[in-house]
Homo-oligomer: A and B are copies of this chain.
Amino acid sequence: MTAIALSHLTKSYPRQATPALADVSLAAEPGTLLALLGASGSGKSTLLKLIAGVEAPDSGEITFDGRSILRVPAHRRGAVLMFQKAYLFPFLSVAENIAFGLRVQGASRATIQAEVRRMLALVELPGIEHKRPAQLSGGEQQRVALARALVTRPRVLLLDEPFSSLDPTVRQTLQEAVRRIQGELGITTLLVTHDRGEALAMADRVALIERGEVLACDTPRRLFERPPTCRAARLMGVTTFLRGELAGGWLQSRLGALAVCGPSPREGRATYAIRPEQIRLRCLPGPNALPARILAQTFRGELSEYVLQVGDATLRVQAFQPVAIPAGGELFVELPPEHLFPVCDDEASSERPL
C-alpha cells in the first residue's frame, strides 16, 4: 500500500497559452481511491501522465511513500495506467496479454499460468485465456486490461476514464468490479473522470479540477452536500447562488430577505448556495418561500426538472416527484434555511448572480 503525494506540480505545453497544470498539490492515502473530477481539457489526464512517468513536470515533486520518483523511469515506477481504450495487444491472446507484465519481471511459466487464471477469476471472466482481444466485447476488453494491470501488483493504479466508452449497464457493473477489486487488493488508485456520479460512487475522496487547478478535495458526501466555493459547487451541479448582505441570520439578496442557519462565516457580503433538489415547490406561501412561475418543465425519470421565474431571475429546481401544477401556474419556491450553505465566492464577477 503506497501513499502518493503531489506537491506544487506545474506543467505547460508549448503552443498552449494556459498551463495544463498550475501548482497542483494533492495526496492519496495508502489503499484508497482518489477521483479527479473535471471537464475535458481540465488537466486531469496530464496529472496521470506525470505520475506514470510518461511525461515530466516543469516543476514540483511527486512522491510514493515519501520518496521522490521523478528520476525513476516510467517502466520502473510500478504505476500502471489504464485508458478509455483497452489497448490490449491485438497480436497476443488474452492470457498472453495478462502475462505481459509478469514476463517482463521474469516470472516462471507455472507462476504466470496460475496468476493469469487467478486474475481472470477476479475480473469474473474465467476460461477465456485463449481468445483474441478482437473477439471480446468492450466491457470484457476493459476487464482483461484491468487484470493485466493488476497482475504485477502495481504500487499505484491510474485509471484514465476507463469506463467512458461503455454502455451504461456495462459501465456500472465494471465500476462495481473495479471498486471491489481495488478494495480487496488495497491498491492506491487515482481515477480520472468527467462523470460526477462515477466519481461520487467509486471514490474515497474526490478532487475537483478546473483549468489545471484543484478547486477542492474532500469525501464524496461532504463535497456533494457542502462544496466550499462557487466553482466547486457548479461542478457538483449547483445552479442557484445568492449573493447579498448577511446580518443577524438573514441574507438580503436580490430575491428578498432569506433566513439562513448554521455557523455564518461573518457578517457583511456573503454568498449562499442551494442544491437544485433541495429547493421545494409548494402551493402556499411560507417562511423562505418566494412566488414563482413555471417557465419549463422536463421529466427525466427519477427526477423532474423545472425552470422557474422568481422575480427577475430564473431558478432551476429538481423534484423527485412530478409536481401538480396549480391552475394559474403560480406557486412558491421554498429555500429551506437548513439547506442554504455559505460558499466562498471565487468566480469572476462577470457572471450574473442572483
Chain A residues in contact with chain B, CB under 8 A? Answer: 39-40, 167-169, 176, 194-197, 200-201, 220-221, 224, 236-237, 277, 296, 298-303, 305, 318, 320, 322
Interface centre among A39, A196, A200, A220 (most CB of B within 10 A): A200
**What residue of chain B has the Cβ atom nearest to residue A277's Cβ?**
B302
**What residue of chain B has the Cβ atom nearest to residue A170's Cβ?**
B39
Contact residues in B for A168 (Cβ distance below 8 Å): 194-196
Pairs across A and B, CB under 8 Å, 28 listed: A39-B167, A39-B169, A40-B167, A168-B194, A168-B195, A168-B196, A176-B298, A196-B301, A197-B300, A197-B301, A200-B299, A200-B300, A200-B301, A201-B298, A201-B299, A201-B300, A201-B305, A221-B299, A221-B322, A224-B299, A224-B301, A237-B301, A237-B302, A277-B302, A277-B320, A302-B302, A302-B303, A302-B318
The complex is assembled from copies of this chain, and their number is: 2
**What residue of chain B has the Cβ atom nearest to residue A305's Cβ?**
B201
From B194, B300, B305, A167 is in contact (CB under 8 Å) with: B194
Contact residues in B for A195 (Cβ distance below 8 Å): 168
Contact residues in B for A277 (Cβ distance below 8 Å): 302, 320
Contact residues in B for A196 (Cβ distance below 8 Å): 168, 301
A168-B195, A176-B298, A224-B299 are known contacts; what are 10 more A-B pairs with Cβ within 8 Å? A39-B169, A40-B167, A197-B300, A220-B299, A224-B301, A236-B301, A237-B301, A237-B302, A277-B320, A302-B302
* Cα-based distance from A87 to B195 in the complex (angstroms): 26
**What residue of chain B has the Cβ atom nearest to residue A219's Cβ?**
B299
* Cα-based distance from A16 to B224 in the complex (angstroms): 47
**What residue of chain B has the Cβ atom nearest to residue A195's Cβ?**
B168
Task: Output the least CB separation between A241 and chain B (Å).
Answer: 16
* Cα-based distance from A1 to B194 in the complex (angstroms): 39
Task: Output the least CB separation between A260 and chain B (Å).
Answer: 21
Contact residues in B for A224 (Cβ distance below 8 Å): 299, 301
Contact residues in B for A220 (Cβ distance below 8 Å): 299, 301
**What residue of chain B has the Cβ atom nearest to residue A223's Cβ?**
B301
Contact residues in B for A299 (Cβ distance below 8 Å): 200-201, 220-221, 224
* Cα-based distance from A196 to B169 in the complex (angstroms): 12
* Cα-based distance from A38 to B301 in the complex (angstroms): 16
* Cα-based distance from A331 to B294 in the complex (angstroms): 39
* Cα-based distance from A201 to B176 in the complex (angstroms): 27
* Cα-based distance from A220 to B236 in the complex (angstroms): 27
Task: Output the least CB separation between A195 and chain B (Å).
Answer: 8
Contact residues in B for A169 (Cβ distance below 8 Å): 39
